[in-house]
Amino acid sequence: MIGKKTSYVDESEAMDYVAGYALHNDYSERAFQLERNGQWVKGKSSDTFAPLGPGW
């Protein structure tokens, strides 16, 4: 996650702008997705299918 606004930062200074990170796990229910007309959103929209949590 970006900690402060920046643009065109040198690689050596990049970590000065990082506030932290978050972990994300992308779950998909392929059978549900494909058996119901192949709609992409259906396979990714159930509760708990995209947990996001603090990583620090």
Q: Given a cut of 70, is residue 54 above it in pLDDT?
A: no
Q: Is 9 left (phi over 0), alpha (psi -120 to 50) or beta?
A: beta
Instruction: Return the bridge partners of 23, or none.
Output: 53
One-letter amino acid identity for 45? S
Query: Three-state SS for 2?
Result: strand
The contacts of residue 38 (CB under 8 Å, 6+ apart) are none
pLDDT in tens, 2-37: 888 989 999 999 999 998 888 777 777 777 777 766
- Overall average pLDDT of the 31-55 stretch: 69
- The CA–CA distances, whole Å, from 5 to 2, 10, 47 equal 7, 14, 32
